[in-house]
Homo-oligomer: A and B are copies of this chain.
Amino acid sequence: MTTKKNLQNDAINSIRFLSADGVQAANSGHPGLPMGSAAIAYTLWKRHLKINPSNPNWLDRDRFVLSGGHGSMLLYSLLYLSGYDLSLSELKNFRQWGSKTPGHPEFGLTPGVETTTGPLGQGFANGVGMAMAEAHLAAKFNKPGFEVINHFVYAIVTDGDLMEGVASEAASLAGHLKLGKLIYLYDDNSISIEGSTDITFTEDQAARFKAYGWHVEHVVDGNNVDEIDLAIKSAKADPRPSLIICKTQIGFGLPTKQGTAAAHGAPPGVEELRKAKQNLGWPTDVDFYVPDEVLSHFREIKVDGGKAESRWQTIFEAYRQDNLELAGELTRRFSGELPEHWKDNLLDFETDEKGMATRKSSGTVLNIIADSIPELVGGSADLAPSNNTWLKSSTAFQSDNPSGRNIHFGVRENGMGSIVNGMAYHGGILPYGATFLVFTDYMRPAVRISALSHLHTIWVYTHDSIGLGEDGPTHQPVEHLVSLRVIPNLSVIRPGDANEVREAWISAVERRSGPTVLVFSRQNLPTIDRSKFASAKGLHNGAYIIADIGEKKPDIILMASGSEVQLIIDAGQKLADNGYGVRLVSFPSWDLFKKQPQTYIDSVLDPTITARLSVEAGIGLGWEKWVGEKGGILSIETFGASAPGNKLFEEYGFTVDNVYQTAKKLLEKGGK
């Protein structure tokens, strides 16, 4: 007869061996984490996690993040066992082409996977973003007696996560913001790939997290369900974020590998696995074994979850009665639909020779649309006054004011990136993060995952070239534009004047299939006369003809993005004055242009015009595609320097005269 205790053990062993069998079948993967932390996962999922496997999108579910994404089989086992739409055969197909069970969890691919993890520390910081989203939405939408948003964010985190700087950044902010709904279970197995964590990671983690303002609990035996359960209860009751440090043994049960680095990232081996099953009293003659009563036991999560969601639905319906508008807004927000008429208040910027920095017009546009799109929430990594990302109609998000829409991320770019991603994963928020373009280097891991996970996030990067001037080469992005353009599914837009800025923001807000990078200047750029030149709406095509000038049909195409657009207009005018026909192309976005039909592409970059010059104050790589073999690229192939921006533009050849001369040489060389 199965006692409760036995059932519990069997349930934990089911997680353990489903995971290990998956790894062994794939002959690839990480058995150590799932085997060591199976009891932690069991306790959390069976006793605490508020989820409905029948509806992975229930907006008030608890969020669960497996920050150590390499332990993916743990998550897949849990998803299968608790009744998500993930079959046992998918588990058997772990890490195979076309399966829903890739090597590391991928958001959007597998029902119930809340985040894409694997690059360490990211999941840790995503959870912080989720908890911020929860706090913000709760403050915004809850009414007395109607807590329509009230859930926890849990994660299993690892040594590797805690060593990564991005986790430190996020942990410091989480402590500052007193995110009490955040509960992290630290799988403290004392093992990393190179061996015992003693070789490099001897800090006092508990003291460190207390210093961040966290509540810290210890679980001495990571296989003890009741001990884990108590710690989680205590964490739920504490108003601070909680770290529960659970002592575990990596690869628990493996006769020779348990507690060693050998258990981490390679299949245990058939014989080792067989003996592990034997050790723990598990059938050795069958793989992917789950006793019926264990499956029923786990599937209660689905039943209970359905009931929980029903209760929530009831509450939500009652809430809707009294709060029709709020309820509608909450639903709309989670659907990802934009409010109607959100663009109505956007303005045309007037022609202005002096103009303004695109970071400034961005601030203007952002503030206008933020008034129509309440889910726009974000901030800067301590550069808001420079990035112009402060929402004037709102306040700062703080522990005593979580409804504030302005986040002070601090000087924590990678943390900001992953937190912004976490808010997007959570839903209900359209988040943005900002810094200088050069510091995208600090947050590339987060930007990459936003693209991989198809997140609707907006990255605002200002101070976009040597044009920023005196701060010098450490602050001057040279290679950054192109190194963002090469990230798949990332839209990168560098508008050339205030009206293009408006369109760029529209593009970013409307692009729901992935993130957009908006690149803005520090220095003033003229606002182009749109009565003379084409409408800035052309931006949505990625590149567009702003004018064909001169007496005859174009001999040459000049193309530029951002601050260099005015340069080609002026140089083009000079060419036209000298009898040439000149096509001027504003080229804010390669990826948007590539999406256009070939007929459009050819209508802009007329294949019969082979004299083409691109002008962009950065590395020229990739412009070859657009200028062709007979074309020229005016670019910067070295680091910048410290001097006033206009001086640098001169020294690096970004002057009307140099563009003019370079174009003339091209024309003389036989472009036609």
Q: A: which residues have CB within 8 A of B? A: 26, 28-29, 69-70, 95-99, 102-104, 106, 116-121, 159-161, 163-169, 172-173, 175-176, 192-195, 199-208, 210-213, 261, 380, 382-386, 396, 398, 408-412, 414-415, 438-439, 441-442, 444-445, 448-449, 451-452, 469-475, 478-479, 482-483, 485-489, 619, 621-622, 624-625, 628-629, 637-639, 641-644, 647-648, 651
| Contact across chains for B643 and A412 when beta carbons are under 8 A apart | no
List the B residue with the shortest CB-CB distance to A480. Answer: B486
Q: A200-B176, A411-B164 are in contact. Are A106 and B472 (CB under 8 A)?
A: yes
List the B residue with the shortest CB-CB distance to A26. Answer: B470
Q: A408 to chain B: which residues have CB within 8 Å?
A: 194-195, 199-200
13 contacts between A and B (CB under 8 A): A28-B644, A102-B641, A103-B471, A103-B642, A118-B471, A163-B172, A165-B168, A193-B386, A204-B211, A441-B444, A482-B621, A488-B619, A621-B625
| Contact across chains for A176 and B203 when beta carbons are under 8 A apart | yes
Q: A415-B165, A488-B479 are in contact. Are A410 and B29 (CB under 8 A)?
A: no
CA separation between A119 and B436, bound complex, in Å? Answer: 11
Q: A475 to chain B: which residues have CB within 8 Å?
A: 103-104, 118-119
State how many angstroms separate the Cβ of A621 from the closest Cβ of chain B: 5
| Contact across chains for A471 and B410 when beta carbons are under 8 A apart | no
CA separation between A246 and B15, bound complex, in Å? Answer: 52
Q: A194-B384, A448-B441 are in contact. Are A211 and B207 (CB under 8 A)?
A: yes
Q: A99 to chain B: which residues have CB within 8 Å?
A: 642
CA separation between A369 and B116, bound complex, in Å? Answer: 40
List the B residue with the shortest CB-CB distance to A637. Answer: B488
Q: A396-B199, A441-B444, A487-B479 are in contact. Are A643 and B97 (CB under 8 A)?
A: yes
List the B residue with the shortest CB-CB distance to A477. Answer: B448
| Contact across chains for B202 and A176 when beta carbons are under 8 A apart | yes
State how many angstroms separate the Cβ of A165 from the closest Cβ of chain B: 2
> Which 6 pairs across A and B sit closest by C-beta, in order of nearness?
A165-B165, A102-B642, A118-B474, A168-B168, A207-B211, A97-B643
CA separation between A208 and B162, bound complex, in Å? Answer: 14
State how many angstroms separate the Cβ of A65 from the closest Cβ of chain B: 14
Q: A479 to chain B: which residues have CB within 8 Å?
A: 483, 486-488
Q: How many copies does the complex hold?
A: 2
Q: A641 to chain B: which residues have CB within 8 Å?
A: 97, 102
State how many angstroms separate the Cβ of A439 from the closest Cβ of chain B: 7
A119 is contacted by which of B206, B386, B439, B445 (Cβ under 8 Å)?
B439
Q: A194-B385, A211-B211, A486-B483 are in contact. Are A104 and B165 (CB under 8 A)?
A: no
List the B residue with the shortest CB-CB distance to A630. Answer: B629
Q: A200 to chain B: which residues have CB within 8 Å?
A: 173, 176, 382, 408-410
A207 is contacted by which of B119, B193, B207, B624 (Cβ under 8 Å)?
B207
| Contact across chains for B175 and A169 when beta carbons are under 8 A apart | no
| Contact across chains for B472 and A95 when beta carbons are under 8 A apart | yes
| Contact across chains for B103 and A385 when beta carbons are under 8 A apart | no
Q: A164 to chain B: which residues have CB within 8 Å?
A: 165, 169, 411-412, 442
Q: A98 to chain B: which residues have CB within 8 Å?
A: 643
A168 is contacted by which of B26, B159, B169, B409 (Cβ under 8 Å)?
B169
A410 is contacted by which of B70, B102, B192, B409 (Cβ under 8 Å)?
B192
List the B residue with the shortest CB-CB distance to A119. Answer: B474
| Contact across chains for A203 and B193 when beta carbons are under 8 A apart | no
| Contact across chains for A97 and B207 when beta carbons are under 8 A apart | no
Q: A380 to chain B: which residues have CB within 8 Å?
A: 194
Known: A168-B168, A175-B202. 14 other contacts (CB 8 A): A70-B471, A97-B647, A103-B470, A106-B473, A116-B474, A117-B474, A119-B474, A163-B412, A165-B412, A194-B384, A441-B448, A442-B444, A451-B639, A629-B629
| Contact across chains for A619 and B486 when beta carbons are under 8 A apart | yes
Q: A621 to chain B: which residues have CB within 8 Å?
A: 482, 485-486, 621-622, 625
State how many angstroms separate the Cβ of A289 from the closest Cβ of chain B: 23
State how many angstroms separate the Cβ of A408 from the closest Cβ of chain B: 4
CA separation between A117 and B382, bound complex, in Å? Answer: 18
CA separation between A211 and B245, bound complex, in Å? Answer: 15
State how many angstroms separate the Cβ of A448 from the closest Cβ of chain B: 6
CA separation between A117 and B119, bound complex, in Å? Answer: 27
| Contact across chains for A488 and B213 when beta carbons are under 8 A apart | no
| Contact across chains for A478 and B488 when beta carbons are under 8 A apart | yes
List the B residue with the shortest CB-CB distance to A30. Answer: B471
CA separation between A622 and B482, bound complex, in Å? Answer: 10
| Contact across chains for B211 and A474 when beta carbons are under 8 A apart | no
| Contact across chains for B211 and A95 when beta carbons are under 8 A apart | no
Q: A206 to chain B: which residues have CB within 8 Å?
A: 211
CA separation between A169 and B444, bound complex, in Å? Answer: 17
State how many angstroms separate the Cβ of A588 from the closest Cβ of chain B: 18
List the B residue with the shortest CB-CB distance to A628. Answer: B629
Q: A69 to chain B: which residues have CB within 8 Å?
A: 474
| Contact across chains for A160 and B629 when beta carbons are under 8 A apart | no
